[in-house]
């Protein structure tokens, strides 16, 4: 097995910061990803019922097309793959080790939990007109108090949920 040579988190963070700055200068937008998933859904539905998409208020305002944000998400996928390959940590795994230890090896149970979490997260992202991480990252770049609040709430919610899901037996 290849030696584990993970990326330095400080370098990865600095590169993410540079990408954020470049995004504003190059395309005039802050980083974000959640709208690209909705656009993808619209592009897929265009194949089935293009007349319906043409009449939907949301898709009139947010055209279902490939844009900079959609390409950003593709770049995240490609970059993650490259990082996993170069660090020697890449492996195909239907059920992560931590999930397996806590909830068992059922791929269906893991898939349903992941799908449900994704639906809830996307509902919240659409309700807030963007995902918490996007609000947090872009907001803090602008030194907006709301960005810091979003980031704090995002991490606090993640810590609470992880503590709840992965607590050891006998703990609260």
Distance, CA of 34 to CA of 125 (rounded, Å): 7
Q: Is the dihedral of CA 159, 111, 94, 82 positive or negative?
A: negative
DSSP 15-75: HHHHHHHHHHHHHS-----HHHHHHHHHHHHHHH-HHHHHH-HHHHHS--S--HHHHHHHH
- What average pLDDT score do residues 68-81 get? 90
Which helix (DSSP H) or strand (DSSP E) does residue 156 occupy? helix 145-165
Using CA atoms, how far apart are residues 52 and 94, in angstroms rounded to an integer? 36
- Could you tell me if residue 19 is inside a domain? yes
pLDDT score of 37 more than 60: yes
pLDDT band at 20 (very low <50, low <70, confident <90, very high): confident
2 lies in a domain? yes
- How far apart are the C-alpha atoms of 21 and 25, rounded to whole Å? 6
- The answer to whether residue 114 scores a pLDDT higher than 70 is yes
Position 116 in a domain = no
Do 32 and 131 touch, CB atoms closer than 8 A?
Answer: yes
Asked if the structure places residue 23 within a domain, the reply is yes
- Per-residue pLDDT band at 113 (split at 50, 70, 90): very high
Please state, in angstroms and rounded to a whole number, the distance separating the CA atoms of residues 33 and 82.
19
In a domain, 158, yes or no: no
Domain that holds residue 43: 1-92
DSSP, residue by residue, 91-150: ---SS-HHHHHHH-S-HHHHHHHHHHHHHHHHHHHHHTTS-HHHHHHHHHHTT-HHHHHH
Q: Is residue 125 included in any domain, yes or no? A: no
- Which range, of 25-29, 80-84, 130-134, averages the lowest pLDDT? 130-134
The arithmetic mean of pLDDT across residues 11-21, rounded, is 87
For the chain, what percent of residues have pLDDT higher than 90? Answer: 26
Of the pLDDT bands very low, low, confident and very high (cuts 50, 70, 90), residue 52 is very high
Task: Choose the weakest-confidence range: 15-19, 36-40, 161-165, 166-170.
Answer: 166-170
pTM for the model = 0.75
Flag whether 46 is in a domain. Answer: yes
Q: Does residue 128 sit within a domain?
A: no
Residue range 37-41: average pLDDT?
A: 89
The structural domain count of the chain equals 1
Residue 153 has pLDDT above 60, yes or no: yes
Across the range 98-108, mean pLDDT stands at 90
pLDDT digits (tens, 9 = 90+) for 83-100: 889 888 888 899 988 889
Mean pLDDT score of the chain, rounded to an integer?
86
The DSSP call for residue 155 is H
């Amino acid at each position: 097995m290849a030696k584990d040579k993970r990326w330095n988190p400080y370098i990865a963070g600095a590169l993410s910061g540079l990408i954020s700055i470049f995004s504003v200068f190059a395309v005039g937008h802050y980083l974000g990803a959640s709208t690209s998933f909705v656009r993808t859904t619209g592009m897929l539905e265009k194949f089935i019922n293009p007349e319906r998409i043409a009449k939907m208020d949301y898709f009139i305002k947010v055209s279902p097309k490939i844009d900079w944000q959609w390409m950003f998400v593709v770049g995240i996928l490609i970059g993650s793959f490259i990082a996993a390959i170069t660090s020697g940590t890449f492996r195909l795994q239907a059920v992560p080790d931590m999930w397996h230890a806590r909830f068992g090896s059922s791929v269906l149970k893991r898939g349903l939990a992941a799908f449900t979490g994704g639906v809830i997260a996307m509902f919240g992202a659409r309700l807030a007109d963007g995902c918490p991480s996007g609000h947090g990252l872009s907001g803090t770049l602008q030194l907006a108090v709301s960005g810091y609040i979003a980031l704090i709430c995002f991490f606090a919610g993640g810590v609470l949920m992880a503590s709840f899901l992965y607590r050891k037996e006998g703990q609260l």
